[in-house]
Amino acid sequence: MTGGCLCGAVRFILHQRPDHIDVCHCSMCRKFSGGIELGVDADPDQIEWRGEENIQIYKSSDWAERSFCRICGSGLFWCTSGKLGDGEGFFGLCAGALDDLGDLKLTNEIYIDHKPAGYAFAGETEKKTQAEAEAIFAKPTDGGHQ
């Protein structure tokens, strides 16, 4: 799978195909994405980057960082480890950065207890509260947001 930012300054090849799409409803993810944050789990060691010098990383909480293109501002990924390609922690690519989502299905929603009432997804998804999601990430909270 391939992807990149809006302006093309950052491109990537994902050598390991994700098997589903996740949604996070926390306020930081909504602010980062400008709406609903759709993401795919990824192994940073399976990503080949071009234009890495155009990736800006922002520490958004005590335990997570987000990245975007420093030219066009497109969201690229967020991670708990904070280091591009270090192979540790949780790493999620922004689904919107992928060129083609193919037949990937939305299967998981996290921070469901923070979801605004104004939207809902069709079909069944596995839903986790803030507490359940943070237990998976096993990182300290900064007040409930990634």
Backbone φ and ψ for 135, nearest 5 degrees, come out as -65, -35
Q: Can you name the CATH fold of 7-137? A: 2.170.150
pLDDT > 90: percent of the chain: 73
Question: Of the segments 55-59, 80-84, 133-137, which one has the largest average pLDDT value?
Answer: 55-59
pLDDT exceeds cutoff 60 at 83: no
| Cα distance between residue 70 and residue 113, in whole Å | 32
Which tens digit of pLDDT belongs to each residue from 20-77?
A: 999 999 999 999 999 899 999 999 999 999 999 999 999 988 778 999 999 999 999 9
More reliable by pLDDT, 135 or 92? 92
